[in-house]
């Protein structure tokens, strides 16, 4: 289903965030054509009474004036040059960026202000902006995280239907690292019964090391209402044999207990040591264990 693009100005660019590894987020677009089956933003969409099912990602809001608004906000005397994360609620390098270039414009503004930047993306299009990122990195801290939960072709194709292939993301990561830009791999989310298999996790870490990643970290799947219904529906379609396992793991909760999640994270930490990658977890793609402490303004 083709996406509809709605060009709408915004009144604010920066969003205050609580419960994550950064204080402010910036999203030049709202809605995401990647339409990942596990996307945690679906939960926020349901809470806002917007579609979280198959309709999510078919209508994209384009914040046409976001760079101008951002420049005004960064010029306020009260602004303390706190870290700004781009892509916490929608991918800043989804296809719309090729036309509108709003992410690039925002990076130029942040670079001019010498403001620290964190970027979360599945989009190799970011290599287009290496020049802007390099200039920004010369004045403040800049870090990019590429989301690569798995290299398995079937799992990627079925759970991240609108994204570029994982190895294409890793080639983009290498180009950034070669240009002197810090680039990490976030294995998020790791899916129980699918991408949590030792050999699949090792494949990602090994490939991240070969691409020159400066860090690798992992988060497991969490399923809040909105995300849960859609993901389980997709699971029933693609891997129905896993439904009993997910019913047992997530039947009455959105988060796995530490007893289930920590062994997977420990395995990834061990793999990063084995392959010589220092774990530099800078930010999280999922909220902390207490969902009441997580509020993301989008």
Q: What is the residue-wise DSSP string for 181-239? A: -EEEEEEEEEPTTTTTSHHHHHHHHHHHHHHT-S-EEEEE----TTHHHHHHHHHHHH-
Give the other-Cβ count within 10 Å of 99's Cβ. Answer: 9
* Domain contains 157: no
Give the structural domain span for 66: 1-100
Does 135 or 295 have the greater pLDDT score?
A: 135
Strand partners, 142: 117
* Domain contains 75: yes
Give the DSSP H or E segment for 25.
strand 24-26
Give yes or no for residue 242 having a pLDDT over 90.
yes
* Domain contains 16: yes
* Domain contains 219: no
Averaged pLDDT score across all residues of the chain:
90
Give me the long-range contacts of 233-236 (CB less than 8 A, separation at least 24): 234/37, 234/158, 234/159, 235/37
For the chain, the domain total comes to 1
* Domain contains 188: no
pLDDT, residue 20, reads 75
pLDDT class for 51, splitting at 50, 70, 90?
A: low
The percent of residues in the chain predicted with pLDDT above 70, rounded, is 89
For the entire predicted model, the pTM comes to 0.90
pLDDT class for 194, splitting at 50, 70, 90?
A: very high
Token readout for 83 is 């870290």
Q: What is the pLDDT of residues 195-233, one digit of tens each?
A: 999 999 999 999 999 999 999 999 999 999 999 999 999
β-pairing, 29-30 with 24-26? Answer: unpaired
* Domain contains 173: no
Q: What is the pLDDT of residues 114-158, one digit of tens each?
A: 999 999 999 999 999 999 999 999 999 999 999 999 999 999 999
pLDDT class for 21, splitting at 50, 70, 90?
A: confident
């Amino acid at each position: 289903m083709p996406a509809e693009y709605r060009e709408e100005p915004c009144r604010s660019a920066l969003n205050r965030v609580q419960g994550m590894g950064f204080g402010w987020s910036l999203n030049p677009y709202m809605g995401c054509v990647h339409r990942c089956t596990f996307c945690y933003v679906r939960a926020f969409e349901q809470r806002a009474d917007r579609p979280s099912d198959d309709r999510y990602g078919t209508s994209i809001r384009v914040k046409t004036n976001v760079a101008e608004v951002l420049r005004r906000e960064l010029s306020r005397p009260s602004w303390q040059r706190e870290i700004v994360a781009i892509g916490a609620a929608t991918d800043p390098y989804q296809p719309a960026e090729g036309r509108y270039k709003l992410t690039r414009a925002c990076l130029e503004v942040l670079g001019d202000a010498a403001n620290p930047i964190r970027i979360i993306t599945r989009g190799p299009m970011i290599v287009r902006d290496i020049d802007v990122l390099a200039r920004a990195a010369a004045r403040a801290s800049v870090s990019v995280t590429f989301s690569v939960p798995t290299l398995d072709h079937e799992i990627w194709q079925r759970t991240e239907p609108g994204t570029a292939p994982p190895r294409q993301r890793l080639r983009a990561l290498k180009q950034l690292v070669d240009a002197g830009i810090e680039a990490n791999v976030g294995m998020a989310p790791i899916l129980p019964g699918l991408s949590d298999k030792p050999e699949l996790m090792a494949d990602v870490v090994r490939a991240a090391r070969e691409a020159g990643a400066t860090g690798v970290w992992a988060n497991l799947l969490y399923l809040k209402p909105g995300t849960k219904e859609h993901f389980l529906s997709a699971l029933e379609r693609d891997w129905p044999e896993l439904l009993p396992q997910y019913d047992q793991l997530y039947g009455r909760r959105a988060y796995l207990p530490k007893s289930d999640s920590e062994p997977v994270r420990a395995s990834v930490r061990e793999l990063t040591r084995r392959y010589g990658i220092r774990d530099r977890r800078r930010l999280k793609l999922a909220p902390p264990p207490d969902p009441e402490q997580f509020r993301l303004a989008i």
